[in-house]
């Protein structure tokens, strides 16, 4: 099997992966983005963007109670067409997704690997029958909603998460929202304003991520005016006539579907991270050492595999160049992912910049150094008669490599 050498491998073409690719592409062309799809980022496809369109419809119909005070007559005749609300949400969502995919077109054919990669014991990646040997890897695989085991097998399509809610063709009549964090509250309140009978369940004394007791009290009062909130653990069971029964210690209700908003888990289980010494717990998170401040076993394995060199920690943990660009981290691999990625990428790109042909930079950059045209680390002597070395990045020149420390005319 042929091995393709890379400077950087980026696993995941979501928001984080695309941002990483944009930065890496400024420094090297030897990179690949691995993602089997669907493309378009979680934010555009099923999270922030479509939810805001959905919320807008909910907020607008909710304001009809204030129309009389504003001199707008006829609010009592307004009605909700749930199918059209969901259709319009999907229409706006699809346009946003197409925009993201269109933005990938300049590099998609040459740098996208449409397969899920798996780590091997030697640190290489296998994807789509090919092998890749990256000097550094950025893992940006995102996350997925948590659904308790057995719920999907028992209730099938009646179990919804934020990934599926906008695919409904019409609004259900009764919904139980399991988990009242930011996502559960946002979608639960929107459904309630659109005419759905909503009951929210959360055993925690705090909802919405708020810790202040006064804010908690005000939040519960506001939410209780629009939907039922039960501070208990929900236990769903089969109900009558295709409904789902939701039981708790003090009662039982029946609903048409469950909206599960119990948090998210990282998409790491299928990467083969155990092959490179990274252990995952039952929640899909990397295991850490029990002692506070002590590097985990994973950190030590990452350090050996990436040949990272521990450095004395500074106050900031990072070194700045004279232009204000952050240079290589100076920490000692307490965070294996951050150290392995940042240190290896920067060391690789430092070497590549020494081989880069740089355009003459405009005068007046932040660094204040003199700059000139460079070929293979030397000045074009026919044009300038001077030699330049010591590459650095100038923030004012949008990341264009500039070369300082003028050493005078040759000869």
Tell me what pLDDT residue 347 has: 63
Q: Which of 172, 171, 146 is nearest to 243 (CA)?
A: 172
Lowest mean pLDDT among 48-62, 190-204, 267-281: 267-281
β-bridge mates for residue 230, sequence order: 201
Segment 360-372, tens digit of pLDDT = 444 444 444 444 4
Non-local CB neighbours of 135 within 8 Å, separated by 6+ positions: 6, 7, 8, 344, 345, 348
Tell me what pLDDT residue 352 has: 56
Q: Which of 355, 346, 364 is nearest to 389 (CA)?
A: 355
pLDDT reading at 350 higher than 70: no
pLDDT band of 353, cuts 50, 70, 90: low
Segment 187-226, tens digit of pLDDT = 999 999 999 999 999 999 999 989 999 999 999 999 999 9
Tell me what pLDDT residue 411 has: 40
Segment 73-120, tens digit of pLDDT = 999 899 999 999 999 999 999 999 999 999 999 999 999 999 999 999
Specify whether the CB–CB gap between 132 and 4 falls below 8 A. yes
pLDDT band of 354, cuts 50, 70, 90: low
User: Hey, what are 260's tokens?
Assistant: 């599960």
Total residue length of the chain: 411
- Phi, psi angle pair for 142, to nearest 5°: 70, -155
pLDDT band of 70, cuts 50, 70, 90: very high
Non-local CB neighbours of 397 within 8 Å, separated by 6+ positions: 361, 362, 365
Task: Please compute, for residue 297, the number of CA atoms within 13 A of its CA located in the half-sphere on the CB side.
Answer: 8
Domains of the chain from N-terminus onward: 1-39+104-142+267-353 (3.50.50), 151-264 (3.50.50.60), 356-411 (no CATH)
Tell me what pLDDT residue 282 has: 79
Per-residue pLDDT, averaged over 33-61, amounts to: 95
Tell me what pLDDT residue 386 has: 39
CB burial of residue 344 (10 Å; 0-12, 13-18, 19+): buried
pLDDT reading at 7 higher than 50: yes
Specify whether the CB–CB gap between 66 and 78 falls below 8 A. no
Average pLDDT, the chain: 79
Segment 127-161, tens digit of pLDDT = 999 999 999 999 999 999 999 999 999 999 999 99
């Amino acid at each position: 099997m042929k091995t393709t050498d890379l400077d950087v491998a980026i696993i995941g073409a979501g928001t984080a992966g695309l941002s990483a690719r944009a930065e890496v592409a400024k420094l090297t062309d030897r990179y690949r983005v691995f993602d089997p799809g669907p493309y378009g980022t979680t934010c555009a496809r099923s999270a922030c963007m479509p939810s805001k369109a959905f919320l807008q419809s909910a907020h607008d119909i909710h304001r009809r109670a204030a129309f009389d005070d504003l001199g707008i007559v006829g609010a009592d005749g307004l009605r909700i067409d749930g199918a059209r609300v969901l259709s319009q949400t999907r229409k706006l969502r699809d346009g946003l997704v197409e925009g993201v995919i269109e933005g990938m077109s300049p590099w998609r054919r040459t740098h996208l690997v449409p397969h899920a990669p798996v780590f091997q014991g030697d640190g290489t990646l296998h994807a789509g029958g090919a092998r890749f040997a990256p000097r550094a890897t950025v893992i940006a695989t995102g996350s997925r909603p948590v659904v308790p085991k057995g719920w999907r097998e028992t209730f099938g399509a009646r179990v919804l998460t934020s990934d599926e809610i906008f695919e409904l063709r019409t609004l259900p009549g009764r919904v139980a929202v399991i988990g009242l964090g930011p996502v559960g509250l946002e979608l639960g309140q929107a459904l309630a304003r659109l005419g759905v009978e909503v009951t929210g369940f959360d055993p925690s004394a705090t909802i919405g991520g708020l810790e202040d007791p006064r804010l908690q009290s005000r939040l519960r009062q506001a939410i209780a005016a629009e939907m039922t909130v039960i501070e208990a653990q929900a236990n769903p069971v089969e109900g009558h006539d295709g409904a789902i029964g939701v039981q708790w210690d003090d009662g039982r209700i029946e609903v048409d579907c469950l909206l599960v908003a119990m948090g998210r888990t990282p998409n790491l289980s299928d990467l083969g991270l155990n092959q490179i010494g990274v252990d995952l717990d039952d929640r899909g998170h990397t295991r850490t050492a029990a002692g506070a401040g002590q590097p985990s076993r994973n950190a030590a394995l990452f350090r050996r595999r990436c040949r990272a060199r521990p450095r004395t920690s500074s106050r900031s943990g990072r070194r700045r160049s004279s232009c204000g660009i952050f240079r290589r981290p100076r920490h000692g691999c307490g965070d294996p992912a951050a150290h392995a990625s940042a240190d290896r990428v920067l060391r690789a790109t430092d070497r590549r910049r020494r081989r880069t042909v740089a355009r003459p930079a405009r005068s007046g950059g932040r660094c204040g150094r003199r700059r000139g045209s460079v070929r293979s680390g030397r000045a074009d002597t026919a044009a300038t008669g001077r030699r330049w070395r010591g590459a650095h990045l100038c923030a004012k020149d949008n990341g264009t490599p500039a070369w300082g420390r003028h050493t005078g005319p040759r000869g």
